[in-house]
Amino acid sequence: MNNYHFGRGWARLAPYLLLLPGFLFYLVIMLGPAIATGFYSFTDASGIQGAKVNWIGLENYREFLFMGQASRDNYAALVRTLIFCFFVTTIQFSLGLLLALLVNQRLRGVNIFRTIFFMPVILGAVIQGLIWSLFLYPLGGPLATILGLFGIRSEFLGGQPAEAMAWVIFVQIWANLGITMMIFIAGLQTIPGDLYESARIDGATGWQAFRNVTWPLLTPSVNTNLLLNIIGSLQAWQLFLVLIGYRNGTQVLGYLIFAQGFGQTSGSVTSAFRQGYAAAASIVLFFLVLVIGLPVQYFLQQRERRILG
């Protein structure tokens, strides 16, 4: 009996051939640049075509991790990245779940709310940044006007670094909440209604039904959302660029890499491009994502196996 769907002989190659374009695409678009980044992290490449590239060994890593106050500033950026990741992940995850539960009800007009909650996702970082820059305009913007009624003034994005960071966290959550919500909605809609009916017959309260039916069966969505939120927030940089720009006390690693690579680290328009150094910073960020992402993924897979078998 032939259980192999594609048959025998040469036909067995069909799935591999079908996979090949995707694999080649992955190789060219993802793996190739990743390997090149690793290589360039050991050079003084500027990223300018034709410019001389010298092999400098671990010098970029030494500079990034151990050289002067700049390296201590890099560690501060790393800590900021983790703080950003923690707040974005926990708040976005919790709010996304809450909204998904709300808009998964059979209520009139629920589709409108789903659309409204998802809408920021399709706007793109530049539009998102523009909207919130206008809302937070300190000279007569909507929020400044409201706060002004209570005698409060703030520079918002251009003032204290901690406040500016808090606003970027807020906008990052607002911008991506829709994706988290949609993944949870997809998960909620795979849970059979019979289970809730049985729970109700057994006298379960709403909280008990959530805890014993919804939450365990949402495990795949929980895992997906957690990993996407963690990795996405660790790599975030666009909103920092659009909302704040390069300002002391607000950089996260993702933005630091961009700024170093493309000469955006000072007010001078003639700053040097340091893409070899930026590549080394990228590798550090990669290991950070790996160190956090892998144990989380392992833990989540174990949990999924335990719950869903």
Partner 1 sequence: MVNQRSTLFGALLALVLLLSACGASSPTAPAAQAPGTAAPAGAAPVTLRVLVHQNPPMVEFMEQFNQRFQATYPNVKVDMTVVNANELSTVTQTRLTANDVDVIDIFGFSNQAQPYMKNVTPPNWQTLIEAGLLLDLTDQPFVKNYDPAAIADAGTYNGKVYQVNLGRVSYSGIYYNKDLFAANNVAVPTTWSELVAACATFKAAGIECMTAGGKDGWPIFVGAYGLIGAMYPDQAGLVEGLWTGSIAWNDAKALDMWSKMQIYARDMMERGASGIAGDAAPGRFASGAVAMFPGGTWYASAIEAAEPDFEWGYIPFPGSDNPDENKYLFGKYDQGWAIAANTPNKEAALAYLAAFSDPANYQAFINAVGFIPTQPGATLDTRIGAAVAPYLANFRVGYEQYWVAPKGAGEYANPYASYFQPFGTYNDVQTLADKVQADLQSGLDANQ
Least gap, CB of 1 to partner 1 (angstroms): 15
Q: What is the DSSP string of 3-32?
A: --TT-SGGGGGHHHHHHHHHHHHHIIIIIH
Q: Tokens for 307?
A: 């719950």
Q: Which residues contact partner 1 by CB under 8 A?
A: 6-8, 10-11, 13-14, 17-18, 20-21, 44, 46-52, 63, 67-73, 133, 136-139, 141, 144, 153, 155-161, 245-249, 262-264, 266-274
Q: Is the CB of 50 or the CB of 203 nearer to partner 1?
A: 50
Q: Output the smallest distance, CB 248 to partner 1, in A.
A: 5
- Contact residues for 270 (Cβ-Cβ < 8 A; gap 6+): 263
Q: Please, which residue, 173 or 242, has the CB nearer to partner 1?
A: 242
Min dist. Cβ of residue 17 to partner 1 (A): 4
Q: Is 268 left (phi over 0), alpha (psi -120 to 50) or beta?
A: beta
- Shortest Å, Cβ 22 to partner 1: 10
* Least gap, CB of 239 to partner 1 (angstroms): 15
* Runs of H (alpha helix) within the chain: 14-26, 32-40, 59-66, 68-103, 110-118, 125-135, 142-149, 161-188, 193-201, 206-209, 215-217, 219-234, 238-243, 253-261, 275-308
Residue number, 93 or 255, with CB nearest to partner 1: 255
> Which structure tokens are listed for 148?
């002004």
Which residue lies nearer to partner 1 by CB, 144 or 239? 144
Nearer to partner 1 (CB atom), residue 25 or residue 86: 25
Q: What burial letters (b/e) apply to 40-67, b meaning 16+ CB within 10 Å?
A: bbbbbbbbeeeeebeebeebbbebbeee
Q: Which is nearer to partner 1, 21 or 203 (CB)?
A: 21
| Residue where the block lists tokens 């005698």 | 151
- CB of 236 vs partner 1, minimal distance in Å: 19
